[in-house]
Structure 1
Amino acid sequence: MIAFKQVRYLVPLLALIGLVWLIFGGSSTSKPNSPYTYKKIKKNDAIPRNLPADHISHYDLNKLASTPMAAYNKERVLILTPLAKFLDGYWDNLLKLSYPREQIELGFIVPRTADGDAALRKLEVAVKQVQNPKNTKEPKFAKVTILRQDNEALESQSEKDRHAFKIQKERRAQMAVARNSLLFTTIGPYTSWVLWLDADIVESPRTLIQDLVSHDKPVIAANCYQRYYDNDKKEDAIRPYDFNNWIESDEGLRIASTLGDDEIIVEGYAEIASYRPLMGHFYDPNGDVNTEMQLDGVGGTCLMVKADVHRDGAMFPSFPFYHLIETEGFAKMAKRLGYEVFGLPNYLVYHFNE
């Protein structure tokens, strides 16, 4: 009778011990059915989180800064280039920039044309030489993204053809779509600055990025010039190239008031004389390179933008926006959002001369 009572109490006790072992001991030796690895809940966690490890990334954009001391603060710079052709001078100049390469991301968008195919092949070779894991001689870029353009693009990329007045609305609409695709694909929650750099820029100061961010402006453009040989004077000379950096004029506003909703003003052409002051004509070879001037329109040859300007919605309109389009439309959009736009008339970068 005594033995029966002992067995009666022993069975529930053994069952209880087995249950405790399954809960606290079995999980350490058996594999879970889930393919995920679960984080161990810390003692101070307020809420248990049964989530896969590293499943959610948290970014506090309030702590993301765009400062005049970007290199010192290790701020990430995204350099974006629509690339219809590959120039060795562009790539060599890019590699000479003194900003810490590990804080630079590169983004390219290449059109689906014969020239684009050739440019892509050369670009991939150049990128692989720098980013090769076996290459320990020089630092690598933090990230490189190459996109193929999914919208139409001009077949001919010669300077004469792409700057013909009659195709400007079509060309710039295509460029705006390409720029937006590139921007929206590559900008990240850690991007502080976006530098738009034309694929034809073959010469700039090595400190280009540091120089532009030091002004601490939401949008700031360098003055794009071109080197050439003056046959009359028999000497090397320079001339303004980018005429999309301008200040609005009364005549420009008057012309805009006469246009239909779908019409645009394109600057730098005799067909539309807006008499807008062009930054290209304000260059003073003896002037201070840090001289600033406020602008109403900008070009995309060399344009530094605080990333928050883009995050707030300033993009490149592919449609007439206050009778402006692409980069000039971007400047108008940025100003409508409350940002000021500036240019550096005495700070030169140089465009390839065909």
Structure 2
Amino acid sequence: MLPLHASTPKGKMHRTAYSNGQAAYPTLGGSGGTFSIQPHKFQPRSGPTSLRNRKLGKRLLALFAFCATVLFFVFPNLRPNLGPSPLSYLTSSDDSQLETVRYYDLNNVQGTARGWEREERILLCAPLRDAAPHLPMFFSHLKNLTYPHNLIDLAFLVGDSKDNTIQLLTDKLNELQADPEPKQQFGEISIMEKDFGQKVNQDVESRHGFAAQAGRRKSMAQARNWLLSAALRPTHSWVYWRDVDVETAPFTILEDLMRHNKDVIVPNVWRPLPDWLGGEQPYDLNSWQESETALALADTLDEDAVIVEGYAEYATWRPHLAYLRDPYGDPDMEMEIDGVGGVSILAKAKVFRSGVHFPAFSFEKHAETEGFGKMAKRMKFSVVGLPHYTIWHLYEPSVDDIRHMEEMEKERKAKEAEENAKKERMDKIKDQFDSKSSDWEKEKAEVQNMVQKAKDEAKQAEKPKEVEPKKEEPTKEEIHEARGAEEKKKPQPPK
């Protein structure tokens, strides 16, 4: 075999040359920047035996290739996954594609006013914490939704819970999906578990106390973002956030909100109260329009401060969606807002895909859902509320309510004791009166009897007396016999 020579053209350096112009490969002979390979040390021995071995190998290789070809076309189930190689196109149909590749046209998931007719999918998100007492009510609402259930995907995030929320949630979902009616079954269901170190108690006073608001809102924003990022799919056109402690809401709420075709839309949220507290009350004060007073207040606060509505510490004088409610108003009336409450939010999925999220930091002095509303407005999305379309949150008595109820209970018991004492006095007086009355009745009866007797005697005295017949004078013989008889009756003196 002739030696193989390679040389570098004059005036040009080899592409892997060193900086001194030497070639990167060592020269094994010759000079002038050339290298040669001397393979004579590794030449196989030629002879009849080696020639026969090479022929046998070629025959075996040809036989193996023939058998593989027959198996490939006769038994298609034995074909390996060839991927996009040229041979795969010979054995696949026109619509073949890799199993690990999905194609989505996001132009078709923009969200429209009549999504149920276009089969637009909704992702229903529900953050949960110690939510076991509310899950039966929440699932009863899910069953009653009129939007096609197969187009609704459910996503839950359970965090910092100390009760049996996970187990009860799993049982309820199994029961829901096992419904024999296919229309009752939902689409994809996801349960995520993630703790965020939330230490604020779930009672009303702790959750709604002013001191806990900033940290609690930021922690809730993290939970919402984790849930959304894990559950949002390219097939979703809408995202619906719903609290599990909503007590009353229309079954058509998804269609009702969707018909407005807004990027972000919320209903009005109130809560029922006992009659002694007024019967009803605005609940969600986080849906509002911005005011000059609030903007001026924000300029005076620290960079990390978070303004929360409904507290005396922050007098913003904003128009609140809740306070504009008219029970007889048009439920389709819209109101542009800047902050949104998180009890019930319907938003187009493109809002989140564009980068809007729930800030877990102070964004324009707001966090979580109110910060979400501000961010959506900043990115030119439409954000509206419906002041006369109302859903009702579950009534949870606050500490003030409980204190008021205790005071009312004390007043009730005091009044009841006073009424009992008064009744006892009246009964005693009545008993005494009844006793005197009975004595008077007896005396009255006796007097009446005496009067009647006197009347009877007077009548008797007024009647004429009957003349008695005169008795005949006794004769002397009769007188003598009577005296003799008397004498006989007298005792005789002893003789």
TM range (shorter): 0.7 to 0.9
Match among 168, 180, 191 for residue 122 of structure 1: 168
- Counterpart of 2:375 in structure 1: which amino acid? M
Q: Could you say which residue in structure 2 is the equivalent of 1:224?
A: 269
Q: Is structure 2 residue 332 aligned with structure 1 residue 290?
A: yes
1:175-203 CA-partner distances (Å, limit 9, x unpaired)? 00000000000000000000110121121
Counterpart pick for 1:99 among 147, 154, 157: 147
* Pair 1:80–1:28, CA change in 2 (3 A): same
Matches within 5 A, 1:148-159: 148-159=193-204
The Cα of 1:26 is off from its aligned counterpart by: 4.0
Name the CA shift for 1:207/1:42 in 2 (closer, same or farther; >3 Å).
farther
Structure 1 distance, partners of 2:295, 2:105, is: 41
Pick aligned residue for 1:349 from 391, 401, 404: 391
1:141 aligns with 2:186: yes
Aligned counterpart for 1:183 among listed residues 228, 243, 247: 228
> Which residue matches 1:131?
177
Per-residue deviation at 1:20? Answer: 7.8
Q: Could you tell me which residue of structure 2 aligns to residue 318 of structure 1?
A: 360
Indicate yes or no: 2:292 matched with 1:244.
no
**Which residue matches 2:216?**
171
Equivalent pair of 1:80/1:108 in contact (CA under 8 Å): yes
Q: Which residue is equivalent to 2:122?
A: 77
Match of 1:205 among 227, 246, 250: 250
**Equivalent of residue 314 in structure 2, options 260, 272, 278:** 272
Tell me, yes or no, if the aligned pair for 1:154 and 1:162 is still in contact at 8 Å.
Answer: no
**Which residue, out of 64, 71, 79, partners 2:109?**
64
Q: Does 1:109 align with 2:154?
A: no
Map Cα deviations across residues 275-309 of structure 1 (whole Å, 9 max, x no partner): 11110001011110000000010011001000000
1:227-273 per-residue CA deviation (whole Å, 9 max, x = no partner) reads: 1222166xxx3211000000001100000011121112111111111
Asked whether the 8 Å contact 1:203–1:350 carries over to 2, the reply is yes
User: What amino acid is the match of 2:305?
Assistant: E
2: CA distance, partners of 1:159 / 1:146: 26
Q: Which amino acid aligns with 2:148?
A: P
Normalising by structure 1, we get a TM-score of 0.86
Which ranges of 4 or more aligned residues in structure 1 deviate by more than 6 Å? 14-17, 30-35, 42-46
How many residues are matched?
Answer: 332
Summarize deviations over 1:109-130 as a string: whole Å, max 9, x none. 1113313xx2222211111101
TM normalised by structure 2 equals 0.63
Q: Deviations over 1:22-64 (max 9, x none)?
A: 5743423579999647585269999x99x7x412111111222
Relative distance call for 1:206 and 1:16 in structure 2 (3 A) is same
CA RMSD of aligned residues (A): 2.8
Between the aligned partners of 1:103 and 1:232, the Cα distance in structure 2 is 41
What CA distance in whole angstroms lies between the structure 2 residues aligned with 1:24 and 1:44? 16
For 1:28, the equivalent position in structure 2 comes to 73
Give the secondary structure class of the aligned counterpart of 1:128.
helix
Matched to 2:151, the amino acid is: Q
Higher relative contact order (Cα pairs below 8 Å, separated by 6+ residues): 1
**Change beyond 3 A, Cα 1:54–1:215:** same
Q: Report the structure, 1 or 2, having the larger helix content.
A: 2
Match of 2:464 in 1: none
Q: Which amino acid aligns with 1:111?
A: G
Letter in 2 for 1:102: N
How far does residue 154 in structure 1 lie from its aligned partner after superposition?
3.1
Structure 1 spans left out of the alignment, 5+ residues: 1-10
Q: State the alpha-carbon separation in 2 of the partners of residues 256 and 229 from structure 1.
A: 37
How far off is 1:350 after superposition? Answer: 1.1
